[in-house]
Each structure stands twice: as structure tokens, then as C-alpha cells.
Amino acid sequence: MKQIALVVQRYGKEVLGGAETLAAEFAKVLKSEYDITVVTTTAKDYISWENYYEEGESFENDVKVVRFEPDFERTQYFHELNRIFLNGINTENFYRYSDAEKMLWRKNTNSIPISFQEELIKWQGPYSSKLYNYLTLNEDKFDFIIFFTYLYPTTYFGVDCINDKKKIIVFPTLHDEAHAYLPIWKKYRNCKLFFLTPEEKKLAQSLWGNLNGYVVKYGIEDKGYKYLNLNSNNEDLKEKYLIYAGRIDPAKGINDLIENFAKYKKEYPNSKIKLKLIGKLAMDLKSDKKHGIEIIGFVSEEEKYKLMSEALALVLPSPYESLSIVVLESFMVGVPVIVNGACDVLTGHVNRSKAGFTYRNYNDFKNAINKLLNDTDLNIKMKEEGRKYFLDNYEWTKYKENLLKILNEFE
């Protein structure tokens, strides 16, 4: 059986994160066809990179996992480097920058010495000399070495450990953020690149130039049929609410979401619609039942799908996404979406699926809610379109077939 190494910054059932989930799902998809080894660090927390798991080998869900300690935890030194690099750039609002402002930022990053860029990435963490040594010594064992996420040292320095560049595949999980404009990432052009959406590939081409890339999409096991109620409309809902699912964090646009929802409730004081937020709480935010805001926190997968399926819509205010699994899950259970139109990836999902709305301001946000509340036929149509989009593009068996086809072509 051929062997594949998956290199990712964190891994484990306690780990929450888009790229980490992608790596876990990739292992799940391929373990019946390939001998999979996950190469990662002992960290669980992406802020500190402190040790959590034991160093060494283990087996998790029938997948071999090899963990190595980072050389250091994140320190104030990184924050100082990052402050110098950003030079006043507001990362949370970078999506609001005009094309001209982004072009100027790109010009500025091109003048930053390579040594400074690499120092910034190294101290961002997790940086593990033991992990790099393992890759160097064990390259010959693997037919492919697949790296997840462009941003972290495990990928940036890891690809340099592999002599046979034909073995390397990188999942950039790239989105339009300030750090993506560093010119050092252009070295990934020499690798095979797997993209999750056409928009991600387009962004990579705009930043890195010509590249060898494939849009492989993503796969989710279809559990939506358990929760479907496609013929229902908003009048059938026990209670009307929007649902947010994911990390409850300012970086995910939560402050803007709360502000827009508060404006809506102020304009429509008799509306009984609520906003429910599920996921890990990473900011100072409390429930406000008087204004219909309910912080539920972390829930099981089953409860997540149940809450999604009974919502008027999933709302996703994040401006930075390379895929958005929760949008696909919402389509899976037959629920429309209201997403941040500043994110090209989310806009692409809405345009292709015809199962939701994008918004760039409060009026867009308000109009999306009102259309779903007041147009029964549209509501039902969007439920059907979202479910169809999921089945045609992101259902697990189709994803597996596509991945195996591409990997077989590489051999």
C-alpha cells in the first residue's frame, strides 16, 4: 500500500480549526486506499503553541499520528515582529481596503527583506526542528507529502525538507488577508497545489503568478437527510432565528454581526426573530435575551445540525474564508445562508447555489432577513437549491472519487 504523510500544525479530536478539520477529513477519506501518517506538533492551542499532547507515535481513528514538540512557545518577540510588519494595518478590517490600498500594501511587502519575513513566520509558530528532521530522514518512505495551510512554519519550512519536489502537495487554505501578500509564499508555485474553491485558486494566481493548481473541493458525509424538512417554510418554524456556527471571535466578524442584528431589532422592535451563536467563545460576549441574542457555546455535531436545520438561515459574517465548512453543512441540512459579500469564496457559494444572500452593509442584511421571512416560495426554493448544491459538489463519496482520480494521475 502506498504511503502518504499529512503535515499539519495541530491535530486531534480536541482541535478546532478549518485546516485541521480538512487534514482529519483527508485522512478519513484516504485511509482505506493509502497508509496514512499524520505529522504534527504536540500543541493544541494556536495562540501559545504550548505542549498538550505527548510527543511520539499514537493511533487515532486507525490513523498513525507522529507528534513533535515545538522548539518554543509564542512570545512577545513575535508580536513585536508582527507589529513592525503590519505598520498600522488593521487585520480585522483588511477586507474593507480598496484594491488600490491592497496594491500599495503588496508593493510595501515586496520591499521587506526575506530574512525578516522568515523570522516573522518562524516565531509565529509552531516551529519544530524535530518535525523537520523527521521529514528529512523519512522522505523516502512516502509517495506523497501533503502540507496543510500556507501560513505556518510546518508548511513553509517543511517543504524545504523534501528533496523530491514531485512528492509535495500543498493545501494553501488561502484567503485575502494581510499576511497573504508576503512574497515568500511564491515558492509554493513550485509545488502541486490543492484548492478548495475556484475563488481560492484565483486569489493564489493573483498573488503568486502561474501555478500548478487543482480545485479538489471538499467532502462531507451526508447526514443532512436526518434533519431535512425541505417543504417547510418560515411559518412552520417553532421559533424564528438566525444561527451562527463557528469560533465566536472578533476575527470572524462577530462584532459586525451583533451590530447589524441590533440595528434590525431596533428597526423592527416587534420582531421575535433571534440570533443564536454556537461554537467556542473566544471573546467577551454574553447572551442578551432582551434583544434576542443567545450565546449557546460549544455543542455536539448532532445538536449543531438540529439547530441549523430549524433556523431561518445560517449567517456567516466572516470576511476571510477559503471554503467555509459550516456553509456547506447548512446546505446539507437544507437551510439558506446569509454571508459576508466581501468574501469572494462565500459569494461564489451563494452565486453557484442560488441558496442564499450576500450582504455588504446593514440594508443588505435587513433585506435578506425580510425576504426569507416574507417570501415562502423563495424560502422553500433556496432550501432545495442548497441541498442540491451540496449533493452535486460536496457529498463525501464524490470528493473521495475525485481525490483518488487526481492522486492516481500523479503516480
pLDDT in tens, 148-189: 999 999 999 999 999 999 999 999 999 999 999 999 999 999
If asked whether residues 150 and 232 sit together in one domain, one would say: no
Read off the pLDDT of residues 16-31 as tens digits, 9 standing for 90 and up.
Answer: 778 898 999 889 889 9
Same domain for 135 and 168, yes or no, is yes
Mean pLDDT of the chain: 94
d(CA 257, CA 330): 18
Alpha-carbon distance 192 to 410, whole Å?
Answer: 10
Report the domain count for the chain: 2
Beta strands in 173-285 (DSSP E): 192-195, 212-215, 241-245, 274-278
Question: Can you read off the three cell numbers belonging to residue 5?
Answer: 504523510
Classify residue 215 by its DSSP letter. Answer: E
**Shared-domain flag, residues 376 and 403:** no
User: E strands along 124-273, which residues?
Assistant: 144-148, 168-171, 192-195, 212-215, 241-245
Same structural domain, 292 and 169: no
pLDDT tens per residue across all 411 residues of the chain: 899 999 999 999 888 778 898 999 889 889 999 999 999 999 999 999 999 999 999 999 999 999 999 999 999 999 999 999 999 999 988 999 999 999 999 999 999 999 999 999 999 999 999 999 999 999 999 999 999 999 999 999 999 999 999 999 999 999 999 999 999 999 999 999 999 999 999 999 999 999 989 999 999 989 887 877 655 655 556 789 999 999 899 989 999 999 999 999 999 999 999 999 999 898 999 999 888 999 999 999 999 999 999 999 999 999 999 999 999 999 999 999 999 999 999 999 999 999 999 999 999 999 999 999 999 999 999 999 999 999 999 999 989 999 999 998 887
Going by C-alpha positions, the residue among 80, 84, 76, 79 that lies closest to residue 109 is 84
Q: How many residues can be counted in the chain? A: 411
> What are the pLDDT digits (tens) for 38-74?
999 999 999 999 999 999 999 999 999 999 999 999 9
Which domain, by its residues, includes 128?
3-73+109-219+396-410
- Give the span between the Cα atoms of 328 and 220, in whole angstroms: 8
102 in any annotated domain: no
Distance separating alpha carbons of residues 355 and 93, to the nearest angstrom: 27
| pLDDT tens track for 332-345 | 999 999 999 999 99
Residues linked to residue 193 through DSSP beta bridges, in sequence order: 170, 213
Does 209 share its domain with 231?
Answer: no
Please list, in sequence order, all residues whose beta carbon lies within 8 angstroms of the beta carbon of residue 255, skipping any fewer than 6 positions away: none
Q: Which among 313, 317, 320 has a CA at the least distance from the CA of 355?
A: 313
- For residues 128 and 277, state if they share a domain: no
Are 239 and 384 within one domain? yes
Residues in CB range of 316: below 8 A, 6 or more apart? 244, 246, 253, 324, 326, 327, 337, 338, 339, 340, 346
The overall pTM is greater than 0.85: yes
HSE, side-chain direction, 13 A CA sphere, residue 369: 23
Q: What CA–CA distances, in Å, run from 294 to 174, 278, 287?
A: 31, 9, 5
Euclidean distance between CA atoms 21 and 13, whole angstroms: 9
Residue 29 sits in the same domain as residue 172: yes
Whether 95 is in a domain gets the answer no
| Strands in 110-201 per DSSP E | 144-148, 168-171, 192-195
Q: What is the CATH number of the domain that holds 54?
A: 3.40.50.2000
